[in-house]
Amino acid sequence: MGAQPDANTEAAPIARAVADVLGDDLAGLYLYGSAVTGGLRHDSDIDLFAVVRSSLGSEVRKALADVLLRISGRWPRSGPARPVELTVVVRGELVPWRFPPRTDFVYGEWLRAEFEQGDLPTPAEDPDLTILATMVRDCSSTLFGPPAARLVDPVPASDLLRAIVAGLPELIGSVRGDERNVVLTLARMWVTAESGVVVSKADAAEALVTRLPPEQATVLRLAQAGYLGEVTDEWTHRGAELDSFVTYAEQQIMDAVQASG
C-alpha cells in the first residue's frame, strides 16, 4: 500500500536531509504510520524508519540531531512543519530477528528538550521496536533502498505479544497529557493481541468501539474523533472515565495475550 502523494511530498525533504547525514551507511529509509495507512491528519507526525549498516558514530549522531531539531515541527503543532519521528536501527538487529531488538537512535518531539541540551540517545533495547518493525515490513512506503521486507525479517507472533506486555506499564504511565495517543495505542495493542496483526490506530478503534460497554466506548469514540480531526478532544474533566477505560483495556489485552499464548 503506497503513501498518499501529499505524504510523500511532505516526507521528501526530511528524507533527503536524513539520507545526507547518514550517507553510505544508509541501507533503507521508509515512511510508515498514518501517512500510509489512512492519510496524514492535522496532528499526524512524519514517521520514518531508517535501516543502517552499522551503529552511528558520535559525530553522525550530533549532525542528525542538529538536522532534526531544525526541520521537525514542534508539538503541539503550531505551524506548517509536521513533527518528525525517526527510528534508526542497525540491520543486524533486524536480520536475523531477535527479541528484544535494539534501537540505535530515536528522535521525537517528546525528546526535544533533551536533544537541545545535548543529551542524545544511544543504542538501547526497545520492545516497541517489535511493533514498528512489523508495521514497516507490512505497510510502508520506500523512500530509499529496497523494499522493507528485504531488510526486516518477519516478526514472530509470540514476540508481538511479548512486546505488548513489556510496553504496557510505560504506556499507561504516560496517559496524562497524552490521552488520545494512549487510548488509541491501547486499542491497537488489544486488536494485535487478539489477531496477531498490527493495524492502524484508526482501524483498531473502529474494530473495537461497537464491542465496548457504553462508558468505555465514549472514551474511545472521543479519541477516535480527535485523531480524525472531527473534534477537539478535551480530557481535563474526564479523568475517571479515562482511568476506567485504561483499566478495562489493560485487562482485555492481558486476557487476549494469555489466550493467544
Amino acid (1-letter code) at residue 173:
G
Strand partners, 31: 48, 141
Residues 6+ positions from 8 with CB-CB distance below 8 Å: 31, 141, 143
φ and ψ at residue 183, rounded to 5 degrees: -60, -45
Which residues, at least 6 apart from 46, have a Cβ–Cβ distance to it below 8 Å? 7, 10, 11, 14, 31, 35, 82, 83, 84, 85
- Of 64, 74, 73, the closest CA to residue 29 belongs to 64
**Cα gap 151→164, rounded to integer Å:** 23
Assess contact for 148 and 191: CB atoms under 8 A.
no
Catalytic residue flag (residue 85): yes
Using an 8 Å Cβ cutoff, are 7 and 14 in contact? no
State the Cα angle at 250 between 249 and 251, rounded to 5°: 90
Task: Indicate the SS3 state at residue 32.
Answer: strand
Catalytic residue among 85, 93, 109, 179: 85
> Mind telling me the catalytic residues?
85
